[in-house]
Structure 1
């Protein structure tokens, strides 16, 4: 047997994420409310940052910003007076008021569900690719802890091999029940976590998935027959179910869904659609000139060199924050431009005219990765003539139709309108709704109608008929 030492050379590719990239990813996903708090914390902890009482434009500052953008490959073509107000009348006089308003309104930090889960993700032994997948999954959970989109649409194809591991990992985090597609699946996940197995779990699943409406209608005898249980056994299962939490994320700060600040506005003005970015919720940031000058004034002692190193680190951190916020806002603006063009009928005519649109298509339009569009759309809101809605709602998959494409959101809106317009004594069944949709050229199966109706929080026909 040969035990001689051998030296071999192999080559492999591995994703490396710098702290700056991770911070950039984080800022992309933050809604305005949380970004406000983040900026406030940075201002308080970094003496190199300041909010000027007026925005002084100098050649040196312009040259510095342009050099940063060119070195990073960021397009400098974005310029819009309505976007951030730097060219608008009265800008200098308003800056001081904006500064005061921001510092007064940046509210105290309450842990969100995403923050709680991300802190647990950071403790897991994951490689860089796995962490990216975990971050994408967590930041795309709604405030209840559920996924509102298909997982394959959230994660790029080359990273989907990590989905099973990360989904299992996240579902083991506190609170139990997050990472489900809806409250029904969440209840089943919680039952598994509490040790329910085998035939008992199967009956509990049947109760949750197919019989809860019957329980609400006080048809326990029918449910017991459906599940093959006695009334006493059904009552025991029902009592156990009531110990679970159908919406596990609601114990945390819900962020933008409780206090919404839209990042973007697309509304009709004078018969035309106008895109505006929210320019009043974030302050203008710049480097404190006096602090920057300190780096040139310290002496040559060891203590002075340490002070100079500290000053330079703070200035570097401040510049990175300023630049990353600019990248965030530029990316969001470009996404909004595509949404305005692709969803023009929605903005003009209403939700039933929303078209199918994927994040992949938008990413191709603006020349970024699909995950970038996912991040910049997460927890962001848009003000429209039809209300303030999550930007993610403007992305929708295609639903089967005869001769024309319809988005899932548009079909749900049509179902809602059909039910609201119905005046007959007998409530419309899911099959009847499916038939009415087909008359409009939209082919949707009965089970799909039932799914959309549940997502609209509308009861089934036999309960609506009892109202």
Structure 2
């Protein structure tokens, strides 16, 4: 078993890595690590350190009168210190992560309603695609045979795309319904 002393020693080494704030266990610790990393510690930075170290709850609740009383500082000095704190990075590890948040949006919902399994299409997952009426009107207003032919072909392709999207939706619904019928016992009883 690893001792707490060894774990804290390793954590301290991790917290010495760059960018400052890596390995912090909470926001307060992250900010303190970054403040300690600013070696100059002018009066604004010293006050910022004191605010984060001794008055973090008052800082997060924006209790300025308590901050003034606890630090013995003026509102103006506190504003400078808070402005400096706001320049710190609350998530220093985020710069190593270039992955965007990707959310899985289901095509269907399977719900148990009044003793029955119901499959519904998730309308939010289906793009709302339609043919612009101005584009459709342009076909009849085309001046040359080539334009009319081109626009008709484009309009026909657009309709095929729309029909394909509708067909996909109905196919997904039929497929999930069929799977649901076969898996009904698994939903209700569990795997056997």
Please, what TM-score do these two structures have when normalized by structure 2? Answer: 0.45
**What TM-score do the two structures reach when normalised by structure 1?**
0.20
Computing the radius of gyration from Cα coordinates, the structure with the larger value is: 2
Larger helix percent = 2
